[in-house]
Amino acid sequence: MSRKTPAQLRSARWFAPDDLRSFGHRSRMMQLGFDEPDFKDKPVIGILNTWSELNTCHSHFPERVQDVKRGVLQAGGLPVELPSLSVDESYIKPTSMLYRNLLAIEAEEMIRCHPLDGVVLMGGCDKTTPGLVMGAISAGVPMIFLPAGPMLSGNYAGKRLGSGSDAWKYWDERRAGNISDDEWRGIQGGIARSPGVCMTMGTASTMTAIAEAMGLCLPGASSIPAVDSGHERMSAACGRRIVEMVWEDLTPEKIITEASCRNAAIVAMATGCSTNAVVHLIAMARRAKVNMTLDDLDALGRVTPLIANIRPSGKDYLMEDFFYAGGLRALMKQIEARLDGSALTVTGKSLSENLEGAKVYNDDVIRPLSNPVYEEGSLAVLRGNLCPDGAVIKPAACDPKYHVHQGPALVFDSYPEMKKAVDDENLDITPDHVLVLRNAGPQGGPGFPEWGMLPIPKALIKQGHRDMLRISDARMSGTSYGACVLHVAPESFIGGPLALLQTGDIVKLDLPNRRLDMLVDEDEIARRKAAWVAPAPRYSRGYGYMFQNHVTQADQGCDFDFLQSDFGPAAGEPDIF
């Protein structure tokens, strides 16, 4: 393999020429305390750090960035940290998804406009993984992804707690009057005990697993707990490896191919992935000119068994257990025959080479193919007159009795309206009813919020019910569970069929046949469509205005139309005068 020379480094355009502009660049480096031996003829490595004091998942990143810098220096590069938008899932409202594309824009432009030869992407909390990766794909320089890692397992009163999943579970019990104030405070203090992302197989761990399966991480990186010393060593290794990737000119387009995207989708299904994987995988793949569709994902879901026994799709274990059982390398080794082992990775080696020696140390956590948690993969895609462009459900995480179900709809146009109704103990509702929330999609939310795990009505909670069929054009947290149909497309806010559903209409879910329909006469549907009035836009200025006018629908990945690879070529190198 031919290697770059120092004169071929991207940063040489800023520092090498003997002219006034390069004089200015070099003098400003000296102003920063660097001398020419620090940066001359060396790869400049940008470290895009999504840390903030409100991003609990990334609270260890100030230490980890120092580990990355150590590795870059060891390999002969110059590390420079660039703070990036921190789209924390817990605090950003109405949803961090509103800002995923803003992070992607920022990452792409920061990489392009600075003298960077390669980048380390530091992320993990839900939208930071796809946002950073999407931007770096479009920028096109060598990149490696550093996953934040899961937090330690939660604990209260001798019980192991899973972030998100157990919050929903115990909230239902509190609503039913089964948990005291002291117990509730104890759970609150024990459910998130360390830095790191959710330790269930929520969206964060789903997306870091996808990044690794796609070939963008060092082998095993996505499984290491955030506070494990191995995470520090992995961070330094990322710094060393990105310097070599620059000399090798190992760019994203050589790694992210149809084969690697398919590998990522198969691994996602086998892990019991978040439903959010659908939106992000499609968006990431399309940035790399791979036309992944909902139908592609459904086809893989039908033939990929779920073998990671991790909540919420699994029953007993959390991400710390997954790591001890062998982690993602061990899971991929179990399904290696289903993967394209020739796919190139950031190591410069193939996926199969990276899996050599991987072993499963607990076959109840990482099941063999002969004993899966669920015979099919984590996700299924539905079609029908309620969702002509698709909807998503997580079969393994819901009560099987709802896989085939029909009942009368109870429709709500807003979350506050729905919340008020479900908290009414006298609500006239049965377990056969179908709760429906609309105006919660990409434009309606706005931003496609995680409202899709609609609360079980208190009247049913007190009767002992803990699941029911729920439908929305929203997303839901990857830590959530239940019979929730999500991502209904087109969304109701732009006139999708969900906007035409009325309370009392019979809704039918037929999961085996992948159907979701309202049992309403076509002429009546046409009459309702003609009478439908579009709601007022959510924004009249600013980023929100750009979002509502350019975001694609859920089945298209919710990227901005002008950022997709088929819209036009990415900008070239910046002029330097």
Q: Residue 259: which residues within 8 A CB-CB, separation 6 or more?
A: 340, 342, 343
Pairwise CA distance, residues 474 & 452, whole Å: 5
Instruction: Examine the pLDDT at 1 and tell me if it is beyond 90.
Output: no
pLDDT value at residue 31: 97
pTM reported for the whole predicted model: 0.96
Of 317, 299, 304, 306, the closest CA to residue 271 belongs to: 306
pLDDT value at residue 316: 84
pLDDT value at residue 571: 83
- How many CB atoms are located within 10 Å of the residue 8 CB? 12
The whole-number average pLDDT for the span 81-90 is 95
- Asked if residues 167 and 288 have their Cβ atoms less than 8 Å apart, the reply is no
Using alpha carbons, list the distances in angstroms from residue 559 to 266, 297, 314, 510, 571: 22, 18, 31, 30, 18
Exposure of 497 by Cβ count < 10 A (0-12 exposed, 13-18 middle, 19+ buried)? Answer: buried
User: Where does the pLDDT of residue 118 fall: very low under 50, low under 70, confident under 90, or very high at 90 and above?
Assistant: very high
Instruction: Examine the pLDDT at 570 and tell me if it is beyond 90.
Output: no
Per-residue tokens: 268? 């996602």
The residue type of 123 is G
Per-residue tokens: 284? 């990431």
Per-residue tokens: 389? 């462009």
- How many CB atoms are located within 10 Å of the residue 445 CB? 23
Tens digits of per-residue pLDDT, 296-314? 999 999 999 999 999 998 8
Instruction: Examine the pLDDT at 120 and tell me if it is beyond 80.
Output: yes
SS3 assignment, position 263: helix
pLDDT value at residue 410: 98
Tens digits of per-residue pLDDT, 409-467? 999 999 999 999 999 999 999 999 999 999 999 999 999 999 999 999 999 999 999 99
The residue type of 92 is I
Tens digits of per-residue pLDDT, 252-272? 999 999 999 999 999 999 999
